[in-house]
Homo-oligomer: A and B are copies of this chain.
Amino acid sequence: MTHSEENYLKAIFHIGKGGANEISTNAIAEQMETKPSSVTDMMKKLSEKNLVNYKKYKGVSLTSIGKSMALSIIRKHRLWEVFLVEKLDFSWDEVHDVAEQLEHIESEKLIDKLDKLLDYPKYDPHGDPIPDKNGNFKVIDKKLLSELSVNDKGICVGVKDSSSQFLKFLDKNKIALGDIIEVIDKEDFDGSFQLKINANSFNVSSQIASNLYVQITE
């Protein structure tokens, strides 16, 4: 498997959110920042290798082999992200680009030992689940903060947008995974939220609220 092939499989998995949907050529091209014609070429090759189901003009889906390869790459990506944060003191907004490179390192032993060193983490620094060796992971029942109602209370468990920009914004405002969030009020006018985060009052825009995942506790 080449780096490029791996990146395509990962892209298909992410667009389809792990399901078996038919993914369009254009969607893949956008995700990969490449041209649709390049995608078509690659889909033919991946189809030849039995990693995707491809029928002309009908989009693609991952085969079970393709899916497990995608999961293996995602596992590596997220484990490396944990390593960078936990062992090398990277901040959560700096890890993605390096992990994009590290995810392609081929060595089963390496990743097993890394998993052990990190004490078998279940989530990456952005709250995304880390598949185990067999590709299994728990899907935690989380909601976007923007979907909560007044008086709902929960724990901040993830981010939808994991751009450096957004993560730095959260840092600056001292919002972190694990924080307890309570919805005090919702403003109809602009969709903004009045929150209590770890006992401090906060007001966040609807844009922020729709990029934070919360696990409701009551």
Contacts and interface: CB of A to CB of B under 8 A. Distances in A.
A17 interface: no
B106 A94 contact: no
Contacts of A105: 98, 101-102, 105
The copy count of this chain in the complex is 2
Contact of A110 (B84, B107, B109): B84
Contacts of A94: 109
Interface string A66-104: 000000000000000000100111100010011001100
A18 to B, nearest CB: 27
A77 to B, nearest CB: 13
Nearest to A101: B105
A174 to B, nearest CB: 24
Contacts of A113: 88-90
A150 interface: no
B101 A114 contact: no
Contacts of A204: none
A42 interface: no
A110 B113 CA distance: 19
A114 B84 CA distance: 9
Interface of A: 84, 87-90, 94, 97-98, 101-102, 105-107, 109-110, 113-114, 117
